[in-house]
Structure 1
């Protein structure tokens, strides 16, 4: 896996500055949780990383080199908030995952790889012919994770991937993210509005407010001894939190 670094990145939409001079590093083989309320700019930063939002100034680097945003293979793969809208309803889940596999393998090899990836995200390979409409939200998000992994990425960008799921399903998906990261050594930029979720999955955390990073560091340190008032506000919103 690789290190993802944002150096003084700014993203503007007309006169609105969505991301304002952000510098941030996602360490290789680690999970960095980017947390903030809706409108803080965190999803815009994620979209900029994968080439879906224009960077007005600054650079986004993968192991010190600019992130390529064109070509068949994308070293950054994004998993979106809504798994239903991110999967083509006309394609079977097997076709969706196979489509993301880099070219060069035979049909049999691609079929075997699809089955391996479905097993990796704890889905029965016998479901390969099903379409997204026949799956639950949690199962669709597992397919989205398998599809992202199919591209053999160097970094996974996970944008609010549990917020559209029922509470009863969120924990299972978070456990899967932790398992995949541990087994595969993934580098993950994990975006959430929920500090409790970030605390569970991330080794490092960055807090974003009004387009800026206001605090960052190891998760345990930031959440036990927050320096910024906004971080304290987010912590106070966690049910049962007694750290402040």
Structure 2
């Protein structure tokens, strides 16, 4: 069982409070979508979980225990928005993945694991020898996902991982996320400002506004019949919002959904 829990988490930078006693749970094998406008505190929440933002109040627990913050094999791994800046441009795809593998693996076992991980993210093993500059944005993001998986995490925090990609590539990455949950049983906090993206991948949705979660529940409920004014505001801002129905909560092919966002 792998449950990531945020319990009354507060993050402050000087006199500015970014997260205001936020509570949220990412259940075992579940994808929870965290949505909100830029500056709402979404990324700070993920960064706090991996020790990149100072937690000034509350607790972040994995299966009831503090999240380990050191070492390669951290059970909570983060995948960042920009797949190019998150990879060392001087390291090949294979080297980047290998860096996150357990140290005990021998040379042959490491190579086999790199090949397996590339296959998991639908990349040919030959790509292991490519530098990031030779890969497309979608391919780089797949390598970043493979690198996160190399640490054998229990939870992945995906921070706007499709926002820097072309529409057609976004759909492929979203399908990959769904495949990973189905095949690996991973828990995931999927952060996005794009409600159409979250609609497609998430089991539950939490809506964040000004450092607080203002609405939370099953995706169909939150996006089909929102209770909070801010959630209704986000939905109303979607192109083609008037054409949607309460049952349109994740069965539309991702490319069709995403095209409405461009």
TM normalised by structure 1 equals: 0.98
Question: How far did residue 194 of structure 1 move?
Answer: 0.8
Distance 1:126 1:136 in 2: 15
Matched residue SS, 2:5? strand
Match of 1:136 in 2: 136
Residues 64-73 or 175-184, more deviating: 64-73
Task: Provide the residue aligned with 2:153 in structure 1.
Answer: 153
SS at match of 1:21: strand
Aligned to 1:76: 76
**Aligned residue runs from structure 1 range 28-177, under 5 A:** 28-177=28-177
After superposition, what is the alpha-carbon deviation per residue over 1:127-151, rounded to whole angstroms, capped at 9, x for unaligned? 1111000000000000000000000
Q: What is the match of residue 180 of structure 1?
A: 180
How far apart in 2 are the matches of 1:156 and 1:145?
A: 9
Is 1:214 the counterpart of 2:198 in the alignment?
no
Per-residue deviation, residues 34-84 of structure 1 (Å, max 9, x unmatched): 000000000000000111001000000000111111233211100000000
Q: Distance in 2 between matches of 1:14 and 1:191?
A: 25
Q: 1: distance between equivalents of 2:116 and 2:238? A: 37
Q: Distance in 1 between matches of 2:238 and 2:92?
A: 39
Greater Cα shift, 71-80 or 144-153? 71-80
What displacement does 1:85 show?
A: 0.2
Q: Hey, what does 1:6 align to over in structure 2? A: 6
Q: Which moved more, 1:147-156 or 1:70-79?
A: 70-79
Deviations 1:1-45 (A, max 9, x none): 510000000000111111111000011100000000000000000
How many residues are treated as equivalent by the alignment? Answer: 244
Contact 2:76 2:153 in 1 (8 A): yes
Contact 2:80 2:86 in 1 (8 A): yes
> Which structure 2 segments of 5+ residues have no match?
247-262
Gaps of 5+ in 1: none
Q: Which aligned segments of 4 or more residues in structure 1 are displaced greater than 3 angstroms?
A: none
Secondary structure in 1 matching 2:217: strand
For residue 86 of structure 1, give the secondary structure of its aligned residue in structure 2: coil
The separation in 1 between residues aligned to 2:169 and 2:31, in whole angstroms, is 21
CA distance in 1, matches of 2:88, 2:204: 33
Q: Distance in 2 between matches of 1:221 and 1:61?
A: 27
Give SS of 1:84's match: coil
